[in-house]
Amino acid sequence: MSAGAISSRRKKSPARRRDVEPVLFVVDHDPMSLDVLVSGLSRRFGKDFTVRGESSPEVALVALRELAAARRPVALLLVDDAAFSLLARAHRLHPLAKRVLLVDRDYSSTSPAVQAIMLGRADYHLVRPWADDETMYRAMSEFLSSWTKEQEPSFEEFRIVASEGDSKALRLRDVMTRFSMPFGSYPVESEAGRRLLREAGLEATRLPVVIRYDGQVSIDPGLPDLARAIGVNVNNDLDTCEVAIVGAGPAGLTAAVYAASEGLETVLLELAVSGGQAGTSPLIRNYPGFPHGINGGVLMERTCEQAWLMGAHIVFAQQAVALERRGDERVIRLLDGTEVHARAVVIATGIEWRRLGIPRLETLVGAGIFYGAAVSESRAMQDQNVFIVGAGNSAGQAALHLAKHARTVTLLVRGDSVAKSMSSYLVSAIEATPNISIRHRTEVIDANGHQALESITLVDRASDTVENVPATALFIMIGGEPRTQWLPDEIARDEQGYLITGRDVLEQPEVPWEHHREPLTLETSMSGVFAAGDARQGSIKRVASAVGDGATVVRLVHQHLHTDTPERA
Ligand SMILES: Cc1cc2nc3c(=O)[nH]c(=O)nc-3n(C[C@H](O)[C@H](O)[C@H](O)COP(=O)(O)OP(=O)(O)OC[C@H]3O[C@@H](n4cnc5c(N)ncnc54)[C@H](O)[C@@H]3O)c2cc1C
Percent of the chain with pLDDT over 90: 61
Please indicate whether residue 277, judged by its CB atom, sits closer than 6 Å to ligand 1. yes
Work out the pLDDT band at 1, boundaries 50, 70, 90: very low
Please indicate whether residue 558, judged by its CB atom, sits closer than 6 Å to ligand 1. no
Q: Which long-range contacts (CB under 8 A, 24 or more apart) does 490-499 make?
A: 490/325, 490/525, 490/526, 491/323, 491/524, 491/525, 491/526, 491/529, 492/524, 492/525, 493/537, 494/537, 498/535, 498/536, 498/537, 498/538, 498/539, 499/347, 499/524, 499/531, 499/535, 499/536, 499/537
The pLDDT tens digits for 95-127 are 889 999 999 988 888 888 888 887 778 999 999
- Could you tell me if 45 and 147 are in contact, meaning their C-beta atoms sit under 8 angstroms apart? no
> Which residue's C-alpha comes closest to atom 27 of ligand 1?
350
CA 342 from centroid of its chain's CA atoms: 31
The pLDDT tens digits for 456-488 are 999 999 999 999 999 999 999 988 889 999 999
User: Considering the entire predicted model, what is its pTM?
Assistant: 0.81
Radius of gyration of the chain (CA): 27
Atom of ligand 1 minimally distant from the CA of 483: 38
Please indicate whether residue 81, judged by its CB atom, sits closer than 6 Å to ligand 1. no
Residue 37 alpha carbon to ligand 1 centre in Å: 42
- What single DSSP character describes residue 98? E
Tell me how far apart the terminal alpha carbons of the chain are, to the nearest angstrom: 77
Whether residue 12 is predicted with pLDDT greater than 50 in this model: the reply is: no
Whether residue 11 is predicted with pLDDT greater than 60 in this model: the reply is: no
**CA–CA dist 460, 416 (Å, integer):** 12
> Which residue's C-alpha comes closest to atom 17 of ligand 1?
278
Atom of ligand 1 minimally distant from the CA of 278: 17
Between 166-170, 395-399, 475-479, 513-517, the lowest mean confidence (pLDDT) is in 166-170
- What are the backbone dihedrals phi and psi of residue 262, each rounded to the nearest 5 degrees, phi first? -95, 20
Tally of CB atoms within 10 A around 215: 8
The pLDDT tens digits for 375-426 are 656 667 888 999 999 998 878 888 988 888 889 999 999 999 998 888 887 8
Please indicate whether residue 348, judged by its CB atom, sits closer than 6 Å to ligand 1. yes
> Which residue's C-alpha comes closest to atom 26 of ligand 1?
533
Please indicate whether residue 266, judged by its CB atom, sits closer than 6 Å to ligand 1. no
**CA–CA dist 35, 26 (Å, integer):** 10
Interval 537-559 mean pLDDT: 96
**CA–CA dist 261, 338 (Å, integer):** 26
Beta-bridge partners for 104: 128
Pairing of strands 339-347, 329-334: antiparallel
Whether residue 92 is predicted with pLDDT greater than 70 in this model: the reply is: yes
Atom of ligand 1 minimally distant from the CA of 549: 26
The per-residue DSSP string of 177-195 comes to HHTT--EEEEETTSHHHHH
Residue 279 alpha carbon to ligand 1 centre in Å: 8
Mutate to test the pocket of ligand 1, among 349, 474, 552 (most ligand atoms within 8 A of CB): 349
Beta-bridge partners for 211: 159, 217
**CA–CA dist 562, 337 (Å, integer):** 31
Whether residue 14 is predicted with pLDDT greater than 70 in this model: the reply is: no
Atom of ligand 1 minimally distant from the CA of 251: 25
pLDDT at 141: 96
Q: CA dihedral defined by 170, 176, 181, 185, rounded to 10 degrees?
A: -20
Please indicate whether residue 250, judged by its CB atom, sits closer than 6 Å to ligand 1. yes
- Could you tell me if 374 and 404 are in contact, meaning their C-beta atoms sit under 8 angstroms apart? no
Whether residue 6 is predicted with pLDDT greater than 70 in this model: the reply is: no
The pLDDT tens digits for 178-234 are 787 888 889 999 999 999 999 999 988 899 999 999 999 999 999 899 989 988 889
Residue 467 alpha carbon to ligand 1 centre in Å: 33
Residues whose CB falls within 8 Å of the CB of residue 86, separated by 6 or more in sequence, listed in order: 27, 57, 60, 61, 79
Tally of CB atoms within 10 A around 178: 20
Residue 568 alpha carbon to ligand 1 centre in Å: 33
Q: Which of 302, 137, 162 is nearest to 221 (CA)?
A: 162
Sheet of 442-448, strands arranged across: 442-448, 455-460, 465-470
> Which residue's C-alpha comes closest to atom 10 of ligand 1?
542
The per-residue DSSP string of 118-130 comes to HTTS-SEEEEES-
The pLDDT tens digits for 518-535 are 999 999 999 999 999 999
Phi-psi region of 492 (alpha: psi -120 to 50; beta: other; left: phi over 0): beta
The pLDDT tens digits for 242-287 are 999 999 999 999 999 999 999 999 999 999 888 998 887 777 888 9
3-state secondary structure of 387: strand
> Which residue's C-alpha comes closest to atom 45 of ligand 1?
247
Helix (H) or strand (E) holding 558: helix 543-564
pLDDT at 5: 60
Please indicate whether residue 486, judged by its CB atom, sits closer than 6 Å to ligand 1. yes
**CA–CA dist 98, 87 (Å, integer):** 10
**CA–CA dist 534, 196 (Å, integer):** 44
Reported residue count of the chain is: 569
Please indicate whether residue 272, judged by its CB atom, sits closer than 6 Å to ligand 1. yes
The per-residue DSSP string of 321-335 comes to EEEEEETTEEEEEET
- What single DSSP character describes residue 356? -
